[in-house]
Amino acid sequence: MIFTMLTPQLANAADNTIIVEPIANSTGDDSLDPLSAGFSDLLVAYLSAYEGLEILYREDMHRIWQELARSRSGLEKTDTLRIGSLIQANTLIKGGFVKINGTFQANVHIYDIETTKLKYSLEQIGKIENVDTLASSMADRIADRLLSSDNAPRSKSIDAEPLLNGHFMKGLGYHYNGLYDHAIAEFMQVLDLDPARADARLWLGRSYSAAGERDHAQIEYRRFLRDFPDHEDAESVRLALQ
């Protein structure tokens, strides 16, 4: 996925330069971490589709920090608000999500970086298998607050990554709700579009396993190890094959 990169010298180019921190998994269930990453990526992608919004996220912040460290003698690494002030970003978005009776509830908080004050909070609730739609709706609401009504309609194209993430997120939602056949179909759509998606291959295997289709699960796990032998989940997959 491609995000706009602003150097400190170019930070004034946009009226709304926004830092988006990953939306945290606040459920206490580590197995839902992929939902956190997926929802965050989708939210950034949909926000990036609006003219007038410049989005800084993850790799952008790391690269900006490296640039600031090189250009400012004695600069110490500090929190996101401080870095945002240095690069003249004006808005910080952060938040978390919880799962309540199979329902996905995301809460985001929008801060004014100059004053460090909370401007407002938004809540989006829906089914976990529809997380892509929830991210899109949340982005629309945030953009509506940050932009005038004349600028709010999307005018930039969204790249193919949200489509892939949409299928992936639906797959996770189906998996966590025990609808493994539906999950398998979604993960297979991701892999049809992008065979190099390690996460989809991994969860396809897990969904086959959870559905009791051990032979299919082992086929997918072996493909995963063949294509991604150094992946952080490779060891757990090796154990699953034993």
Per-residue pLDDT tens for 179-218?
899 999 999 999 998 999 998 999 999 999 999 999 999 9
Q: Name the 3-class secondary structure at 46.
A: helix
Q: Give the dihedral sign, CA 206/208/212/217.
A: negative
Cα dihedral 35/25/99/130 (nearest 10): -30
First to last CA, the chain: 35
Contacts of 201 (CB under 8 A, 6+ apart): 187, 191, 220, 223, 224, 227, 228
Q: How far apart are CA 116 and CA 109, in angstroms?
A: 12
pLDDT at 176 over 70: yes
pLDDT, mean of residues 106-124: 91
Q: How far apart are CA 217 and CA 11, in angstroms?
A: 48
Domains 8-146 and 178-241 share a fold: no
pLDDT at 236 over 60: yes
CATH number of the domain at 178-241, please?
1.25.40.10
Contacts of 91 (CB under 8 A, 6+ apart): 16, 17, 18, 19, 110, 111, 112, 113, 119, 146
For the chain, the structural domain boundaries read: 8-146, 178-241
Among 159-163, 173-177, 186-190, 207-211, the range scoring the smallest mean pLDDT is 159-163
The CATH superfamily assigned to 8-146 is TolB, N-terminal domain (3.40.50.10070)
Per-residue pLDDT tens for 211-229?
999 999 999 999 999 999 9
pLDDT score, position 172: 85
